[in-house]
Amino acid sequence: MKNKTQGSRKNHSNPRTPGQDLRFGRAGLEPLNPTQNTIALIDRFKGRKICVVGDIIADVYIFGKPYRLSREAPVVVVKYEEERIYPGSAGNTIHNLLALGAHVFPLGFIGSDDAGNKLIRYFSRYKTVDMDGFIRHDGETITKTRILAGDTHTSKQQVIRIDRDIDKHFSKHERSLLKKRLKEISPHMDGFIISDYGHGAVDSEISAYVRNLAKNKVVVGDSRYNLKELKGFTMITPNESEAYNLSSLNERHDIEEVGRRILRLMDVAALLITRGNKGMSLFLKGGEVYHIPISGKDDVTDVTGAGDTVCAAVALSLASGGDFYTASLIANYAAGVVVMKRGTATVTADELKRAMKSSDE
């Protein structure tokens, strides 16, 4: 069976390894040869210290069974069965890093409500997460509630999603706590992730501070609405739609033209564009372009949170001494695992290794 993640390459010079140049990532680790087995890089994940700054939300899943039509409206009545809550957005990035073996230092705001309390209890199960970075504010936690319905022996399908955003500006004191903690821990980190979903945790001051760290640390950025603020980072990971918007080009333009324009605009060392069933495209500052086909099956189960998984996996790989191409391959495998799971999901190091081995069979 052909290895589906063996990407097509243009400009065949070796992908630059972060440890070789402080501008391109983390120093202090002996770089892995790009031709070495990527499994060796995964073994370096354990204990790497990664700081995640971003919008932490609660993904709520309500499961039920449809059993009759409503007399009140032409809708199905769903009988409640159970409810689950998972970390979402930046919380999902944190969760994926924990599952992969990293020591994670989150920085974000969580409300003082029931959803916030559940998120705190969820993360407190892990011994490798720094709980001091969860800043509780006097308000509600941002939630995305998905209602899924289906018969007992069938896969439940999402019926509707209800978002509860907070119309709140975090106080000067709350922001100062986050920034103070960031400055305290930054010298001890192997890498940083900015996960900006537009809910206010990341501002221009945070972006500027982390941008300065990119001179000698791995800094990976993911932003839903404000990618331009991530200029000067080590790597950014937009999806295809976000990349086109950032480049100000329409879809008549080739993805390589889009990628090259973003590299010029953003002054990043690397750009990884996730492209759904078309895989990923990696652009390096030196001019190299790598198109990586999707890993795993084409018939995905659920793409919820896959971008968070990609961001977590690529940042952890770079912070562990990997080069950009190998880190992107690992992120591609990671995405291939989580999209086959329902809901906001994570991937473990063992699952990654199994996915890689099965692709070589």
Catalytic (active-site) positions = 308
DSSP string of 256-292? HHHHHHHHHHH--SEEEEE-GGG-EEEEETTS-EEEE
Helix 324-338, helix 306-319: angle, nearest 10: 150
User: Encoding tokens for residue 158?
Assistant: 């999402």
- The rounded distance, in Å, linking the Cα atoms of 48 and 189 is 8
238 burial (CB, 10 Å; 0-12 / 13-18 / 19+) is buried
What is the spatial distance between Cα 237 and Cα 194, in angstroms, rounded to a whole number? Answer: 11
The radius of gyration computed from the CA coordinates of the chain, to the nearest angstrom, equals 20
3-state secondary structure of 99: helix
What 8-state DSSP symbol labels residue 239? B
169 vs 8, 26, 82, 143, 275, CA distance in Å?
Answer: 46, 34, 33, 17, 33
Contact at 8 Å (CB) between 138 and 112?
yes
Contact 263, 286 (CB under 8 A): no
The structure tokens listed for 303 are 């793409």
Q: Determine contact, residues 195/226, Cβ cutoff 8 Å.
A: no
DSSP, residue by residue, 134-151: EEEESSPPPEEEEEEE--
Rounded Cα distance between 107 and 184, Å, is: 12
